[in-house]
């Protein structure tokens, strides 16, 4: 087997499971006799002279550390040079040239990019940068908004973190006969709120994909068989005529209707926590799939899980399968997104359990 040099880079927001994926990639590559380079701080690490890298050996990332959240390679820093900051500062052409030169200077045969839907969309839209290397993408995000894969690294741990947070709130809610409005992450996708809401038995789950009526929500709470509980609100929802954080908007409406409540914000605790076994297994499967793709000389592909099978899909298919919209921060770049589908079985399960999920179409 021909020796290869592969690079690993984590981009976008952090999440649990990144270190597991890095560890498994390094282990599998070194067993194959390949050289492994880690690129620090995402694309910013490729834009310095020389590029900021870590040369992996068997002891660089210990097995017991692979379960930890965050990224051993970091995901960027304030002021980091990436596609967005390069565009806003008028340096996009220079940035693109610099990335291509650094990849060539490092002598990489392949680059494994572990990123979210924005990072993977950017990789496809700027694919000429990677024409001299095999580009293999691994999907990670707590939002689970990536087309063509039914699971993303970090999602399961985020659901567990959010569930644990709400479990504790439920105890104080019961003690004081009080409702809690909890705002979740997820951007414009409601998967995180939906899954955690079903897990905790929430009274209501409000997500961007489903229209809701505040008066219906108030009526649902008043007709419930409890005088306490949790309303999960995804950060991407909007309320016509109101501004501010979504949980605050809903809380004010409940207060005006005489429903005693408090707001709670788990914030970045959703991104951390020891990686769950499911996420570790997923990261391992996707790392193995990525290494096999490198062996098979594939490029411009993404690892994906569907019907319990892990295989690669082309970045072209990934991009075309989603809801494509203009990136608000980078001119002439489009992003491909996935959302909670109207026929998602979990929506109907939530309704069957008496959870207010919005207006049924």
Residues 6 or more apart whose CB falls under 8 angstroms from that of 111 comprise 6, 7, 8, 9, 103, 130, 133, 134, 135, 136
Q: Which backbone phi and psi does 183 adopt, to 5 degrees? A: -95, 125
- Give CA 254 to chain center in angstroms: 31
Regarding beta strands 301-306 and 134-139, do their DSSP bridges make them parallel or antiparallel, or are they unpaired?
A: parallel
Distance, in Å, from the CA atom of 323 to the CA atom of 305, rounded to the nearest integer, reads 19
What share of residues in the chain are helix, strand, coil (percent, to 5)?
Answer: 40, 20, 40
Residue 84, classified by CB atoms within 10 Å of its CB into exposed (0-12), middle (13-18) or buried (19+), is middle
Give the Cβ contact number of residue 77 at 10 Å.
10
Question: Is 143 part of the annotated catalytic residue set?
Answer: yes
Strand-pair partners of 186: none
Question: Of these residues, 14, 143, 145, 337, which one is catalytic?
Answer: 143
CA 265 – CA 268 distance, rounded (Å): 9
Which residues are annotated as catalytic? 143
């Amino acid at each position: 087997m021909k020796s290869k040099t592969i690079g690993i880079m984590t981009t976008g927001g952090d999440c649990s499971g990144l270190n597991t994926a890095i560890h498994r990639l390094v282990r599998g590559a070194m067993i194959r006799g390949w050289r492994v380079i880690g690129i620090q701080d995402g694309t910013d690490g490729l834009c310095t002279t020389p590029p900021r890298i870590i040369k992996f050996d068997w002891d660089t990332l210990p097995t017991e550390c692979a379960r930890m959240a965050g990224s051993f390679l970091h995901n960027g820093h304030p002021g980091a040079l990436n596609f967005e900051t390069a565009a806003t500062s008028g340096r996009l052409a220079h940035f693109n040239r610099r990335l291509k030169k650094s990849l060539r200077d490092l002598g990489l045969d392949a680059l494994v990019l572990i990123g979210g839907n924005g990072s993977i969309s950017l990789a496809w839209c700027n694919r000429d940068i990677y024409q001299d290397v095999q580009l293999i993408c691994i999907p990670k995000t707590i939002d689970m908004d990536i087309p063509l894969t039914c699971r993303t690294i970090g999602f399961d741990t985020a659901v567990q973190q959010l569930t644990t947070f709400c479990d504790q709130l439920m105890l104080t809610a019961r003690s004081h006969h009080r409702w809690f409005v909890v705002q979740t992450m997820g951007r414009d996708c409601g998967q995180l709120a939906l899954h955690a809401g079903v897990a905790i038995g929430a009274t209501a789950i409000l997500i961007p994909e489903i229209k809701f009526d505040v008066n219906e929500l108030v009526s649902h709470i008043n007709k419930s068989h409890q005088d306490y509980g949790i309303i999960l609100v995804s950060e991407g929802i909007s309320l016509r005529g109101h501004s501010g954080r979504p949980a605050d908007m809903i809380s004010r409406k409940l207060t005006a209707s005489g429903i005693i409540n408090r707001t709670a914000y788990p914030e970045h605790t959703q991104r951390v926590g020891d990686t769950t076994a499911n996420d570790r297994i997923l990261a391992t499967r996707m790392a193995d799939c990525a290494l096999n793709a490198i062996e098979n000389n594939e490029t411009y592909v993404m690892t994906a899980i569907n019907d319990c099978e892990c295989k690669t899909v082309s970045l072209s298919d990934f991009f075309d399968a989603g809801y494509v919209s203009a990136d608000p921060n980078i001119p002439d770049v489009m992003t491909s997104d996935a959302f909670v589908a109207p026929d998602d079985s979990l929506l109907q399960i939530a309704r069957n359990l008496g959870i207010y999920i919005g207006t049924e179409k």
